[in-house]
Amino acid sequence: MAEIIQKDGTWAFDGDTLRIVPGSDKSVGLLRRTLGEIAVPLRAVAGIAYEAGRRTGRLRLRLRDGADPLLQVTGGKLPDASDPYLLAVETRTAGVAEYMVDEVRNALLLDEVPDGPVDGYLLPGPALPMTVGAGDGTVTFDGRTVRLEWTWHTDDKKTAAGPVSLPLEDLTGVVWQPARGLSDGYLRFVTTPHAPRLDPAHDPLAVELNGFRKDPLMALLAAAVVARLPHPHAPRRELTAAAPMALEAAPPAPAAEDHDVLLRRLRELGELHRSGVLTDEEFSAAKQAVLKRL
């Protein structure tokens, strides 16, 4: 058993699973705190490294391409504070971090885990149902339908059509782009891959993100949707001689969750509710989802 406990979070490895729990330090981003504990199976890991620094080092986990829907949708664009696979390590505990690296690397070698891409998600994505309000809209996803509702400062061209409901089977993809500098970001739901892209401020299938505190949570919602779409690396099969090639879209198997993980999730939701991050409605919906899984 290898374990490292820091203000930034706790990583514990038992030979089969690396459990990542976000810390309570103010440097921990809202995305990580909302996501909560992650159980990463060894077969999802491509590598691990400790990057030494003068005052603070960094422990970085690298997952196999296609293993995690969150990484699939964010494409390396998450800031450090929001990256669940990055742990800030005090220099005095560098030895513990290096021990963690050795243990994970040895397990990868013993189990002969390849570092190449996978053809199905090995992590389940965020829990549902999920509602996130950021930018110029609020998005809700219950596993079957994405619903977009607009705020008071949404562009008139978007509000004129009213709320938008998108069945999961109508979606071909989700695109998340964070705000950078003076450029706004967006979360866009794609129904036709080759359709012209409107400016997010005017697109009824997109939420414009302005770089505020809750914006990263839209990446979590995007990951929840992507986890339920066909995997981009899924093997193709030929149905008939006349039929086109089709993607096999078997839903990902749910990850096993133990009782303690779900109880910790309830405590985390309570803390987010008390601090004002979650509204009464959001807290109630998220709590009921966790209770059903107990």
Question: Coil, strand or helix: which one is 257?
Answer: coil
Residue with tokens 């080092």: 57
Given 3-state DSSP classes, what are the helix, strand and coil percentages for the chain, each rounded to the nearest 5? 30, 30, 45
Which amino acid does the sequence have at 169?
Answer: E
- H helical segments located in 28-168: 30-35, 69-74, 94-110, 156-159
Q: Got the DSSP string for 4-36?
A: EEETTEEEEE-SSEEEEEE--STTS-HHHHHH-
How many Cα atoms occupy the beta-carbon half-sphere of 7 within 13 Å?
Answer: 9
> At residue 102, what is the residue type?
D
Question: Are 168 and 144 spatial neighbours (Cβ–Cβ below 8 Å)?
Answer: yes
Query: In one letter, which amino acid is 232?
Result: P
- Residues 243, 247, 249, CA angle at the centre, nearest 5°? 125
As given in the structure block, the two tokens for residue 159 are 């509000």
Q: Report d(CA 98, CA 82) in Å as an integer.
A: 23
> For residue 182, what pLDDT is reported?
84
Ranges of residues in the chain whose predicted pLDDT is under 50: 238-257
Task: Spell 41-60 as b/e; 16+ CB within 10 A means b.
Answer: ebebbbebebeeeeeebbbb
The owner of tokens 């990542």 is: 20
Alpha-carbon span 218 to 209, nearest angstrom: 9
Classify residue 214 as exposed, middle or buried by CB count within 10 Å of its CB (0-12, 13-18, 19+): middle
Lookup: tokens for 165: 């409901």
| Amino acid type, 155 | D
> For position 272, what pLDDT does the model report?
67
| Contacts of 153 by beta carbon, 8 Å cutoff, 6+ apart | 136
Backbone φ and ψ of 142, nearest 5° = -110, 10
Reported as type and span, the H/E element at residue 246 is strand 245-247
Q: What is the pLDDT of residue 197?
A: 80
| Residue 135: per-residue pLDDT | 92
- Provide the token pair at 65: 């391409």
**What pLDDT was estimated at residue 276?**
67
Rounded to 10 deg, the angle between the 280-293 and 259-274 helix axes is 170
